[in-house]
Amino acid sequence: MSGPEIVIDIEKIRSNTRSIVDFCRRRAISVTGVTKVSCGMPLVGRAMLDGGVVSLGESRIENIRRMRASGINAPMMMLRIPPLSRVDEIVANADISLNSELSVIRSLSEASLKRAKVHKIILMVDLGDLREGIWPSELLEISREVINFKGVQIIGIGTNLTCFGGVLPSPENMGKLVEYAENIEKAFSIQLEIISGGNSSSLPLLMENRMPARINHLRIGEAIVLGKETVKGTLWPGCYGDAFQLSAELIELKKKPSVPIGETGMDAFGEKPVFHDKGDILRAILNVGREDVTIDSLIPEDEKISILGASSDHLLLDVSHAEKRPVLGERIKFNMNYGALLAAMTSNYVGKTPLLGAERKMNTPDIVMIGNSPLYKNENLLKHLSDSGIIFEVSEEKITNQSIHNIFRNKKTPLIGGELNKSCESLKGLSLSFKQSGLIILSPNASLLSGKSSEPDEIFLSEVFGFGKKENDLSSCISPENTVIIGLRETENSEIEIIKKLGIQAYTMEDIDLLGMREIMINCLRRACNGTEGFYTRISTDVINAEGEGLTFREAHLTMEMISDSSGMLALDISGTPDKSWIDDRALCSIVESAYGKRILRL
């Protein structure tokens, strides 16, 4: 990664969640883990569930879908009150929603009846923060109507504080919430399962043992992801404050004056900057700017580094007093407050790399060749690859998920020459080794024909996404959002429907002609790497040439070179049908060489 990047330490998120969940449990409070600041990143949702939350909370349907597509079946709570126009999607994707409008609740009820479901709702009460919520004087009246709706069930009431008005949770306002809940229970002879006392800002009240006993639920985001309570912003006991860290590369380091020279006008953002003369200082420029992140709320990890300012693409630092004198090319790290994290996670320019245990270095992979391909002779491929200085070993084992898993366990990269067709086994091996990976498929087929074919090459992808045998379902490790198919020529309508439904990125030959391979690969790599530990590349040799209908050699090379530059490839799988393949051993070798970093022409 050369540009700005957020490294997300999944273990720290799990651990922060565990600390907070345990703390709350001792006070008889259950926790919904709020994933919205991570844009519903599946690994983050899973870490929260591992840490013991009872459900996940999200404010956007798209993010809920993202987690569902990754196989997360936990109860989902929709936090932002639903828009009337999307009630059907809410009942389809979320189990519980927070609500304050009668007509929306009525529509939710109708929508869930159509699906023969009962949607759970929590009525939000406004205790004075003046964001969402029913005004207390109207609560009983609205409850009376809602209780008659057959498609929804009131499971509790809740409130949200410290968001708009900055109102702090107190024994008084929390006591009111309990009182309102008991009024509803008495008036309608029902029992409310949940009294939800707010968000991270309610934790201090718990700490001081001033939370009324019947409050039994909180929705916690910031305290888990940033390890902080939100009233004073102090680190929560036992939590990490650096689960998310932003870094960017140092691209200029020079001693220069602290005050600009010459008459000054407005800066790039129409402000008149003010400078204090500190004499010459050691100034560093990083390759990150206002187009990527919110600068004002970045906190340098090294407290002795200070931020001077930023333009669209440059961040300027005073590193005169840095703990360790930085060097060009080094990555400087920052912690973030909530606003900076939110902006950076939403930015397309910022890479998101999960950290899951030991870091892998993939620039110079140790390659292990495995499998007997009908497409090429292993001896020939071996000879070519060792001639070009790509050193590797050969495994005599058969392709099984275990043999592939073992290669990964030894921190090596498999080069898989599957007999027809072992991709399902290899991908299982991948999923045993990595929690979340991307998938780049170069093939004329979508391989999504489950139920209509039993040819492995035509169905393996539908199996991976759970449309086939249960034991082949790998959707919790390989998400459709991280899957791309390049070079499609033959697709059935049923496959197109699945591609659309799952949100797989697919590029046909026509797209490649229109957009060009470079543009397409930039997109594909972003997708395959976003929130994953790396990606699996599967090239079906049929994708190339085919009487001018397929990829050209040049395009295939460019693809492989860009894959190599990304340093993200975990495995290379070569498949194809011998009689349809347009490529001989030699040509195939050169393509494989590109994938491992060899350039046709190095100037």
Please give the Cα distance from 300 to 312 (Å, whole number).
19
What is the pattern of x (binds ligand PLP, CB under 6 A) and - over residues 158-177?
Answer: --x-----------------
For the CB of residue 16, give the shortest distance to ligand PLP in the complex, in Å: 12
Q: Ramachandran region of residue 126, left (φ > 0), alpha (ψ -120 to 50) or beta?
A: beta
Rounded to a whole number of angstroms, the minimum distance from the CB of residue 42 to ligand PLP is 19
| Residue 202 makes contact with ligand PLP by CB under 6 A | no
> Which of the following is catalytic: 36, 228, 428, 598?
36
Task: Output Rg (C-alpha) for the chain, integer angstroms.
Answer: 27
Three-state SS string over 3-45 comes to CCEEEEEHHHHHHHHHHHHHHHHCCCCEEEEECHHHCCCHHHH
Q: SS3 for 246? A: strand
CB-CB contact of 347 with 273 (8 Å): no
Compute how many residues bind ligand PLP; rule: CB under 6 A: 14
Place of tokens 């899973």: 46
Q: For CA atoms 399, 400, 404, 409, give the dihedral sign.
A: negative
Which CB atom, from 9 or from 229, has the smaller least distance to ligand PLP?
229
Nearer to ligand PLP, 198 or 480 (CB): 198
Which of 160, 423 has the CB closer to ligand PLP?
160
For ligand PLP, which residue of 143, 200, 482, 566 counts as binding (CB under 6 A)? 200
Q: Which residue is nearest to ligand PLP (CB)?
A: 221
The least CB distance from residue 54 to ligand PLP, in Å, is: 14
Assess 538 for contact with ligand PLP (CB under 6 A). no
* Cα first-last separation, the chain: 23
In angstroms, give the least distance from the CB of 236 to ligand PLP: 11
Minimum CB distance to ligand PLP smaller for 130 or for 259 = 130
- Gap between the Cα atoms of 451 and 513, Å rounded: 32
Q: Which is nearer to ligand PLP, 6 or 399 (CB)?
A: 6
Which residues lie across from 358 on neighbouring strands? Answer: none
Binding to ligand PLP by residue 34, rule CB under 6 A?
yes
Among 100, 199, 335, 505, binds ligand PLP (CB under 6 A): 199
Site for ligand PLP in 78-97 (CB under 6 A): 79
CB closer to ligand PLP out of 98 and 215: 98
Judged by CB, which is closer to ligand PLP: 93, or 482?
Answer: 93
**Closest alpha carbon to 76 in 107, 101, 51, 49:** 49
For 377-491, list the strands marked E by DSSP: 392-394, 413-417, 437-442, 478-488
Q: Which of 16, 107, 230, 575 binds ligand PLP (CB under 6 A)?
A: 230
Question: What's the min distance (Å) between Cβ of 338 and ligand PLP?
Answer: 7
Q: Phi, psi (5° rounding) for residue 155?
A: -100, -10
Active site includes 36?
yes
Distance CA 289, CA 350 (A): 11
Instruction: Tell me the closest approach of the beta carbon of residue 299 to ligand PLP, in angstroms.
Output: 18
108 binds ligand PLP (CB under 6 A): no
Q: Give the footprint of ligand PLP on residues 547-586 (CB under 6 A).
A: none
**Local structure of 473: helix, strand or coil:** coil
User: Which string of x and - marks every residue 36-75 that binds ligand PLP (by CB under 6 A)?
Assistant: x----------------------x----------------
Sorted by sequence, the CB contacts under 8 Å of residue 129 that are 6+ apart come out as 159, 160, 161, 162, 163, 164, 165, 166, 167
Asked if 129 touches ligand PLP (CB under 6 A), the answer is no
Non-local (6+) Cβ contacts of 23 within 8 A are: 203, 206, 237
Question: Residue 482 CB, nearest distance to ligand PLP (Å)?
Answer: 25
Q: Give the nearest distance from C-beta 523 to ligand PLP in angstroms.
A: 30
Name residues whose C-beta falls within 8 Å of residue 224's C-beta, 6 or more positions apart in sequence. Answer: 13, 16, 17, 20, 33, 34, 48, 51
| Residues 205-224 interacting with ligand PLP (rule: CB under 6 A) | 219-223
Catalytic site residues?
A: 36
Report the interface residues with ligand PLP, using CB under 6 A: 34, 36, 59, 79, 98, 160, 199-200, 219-223, 230
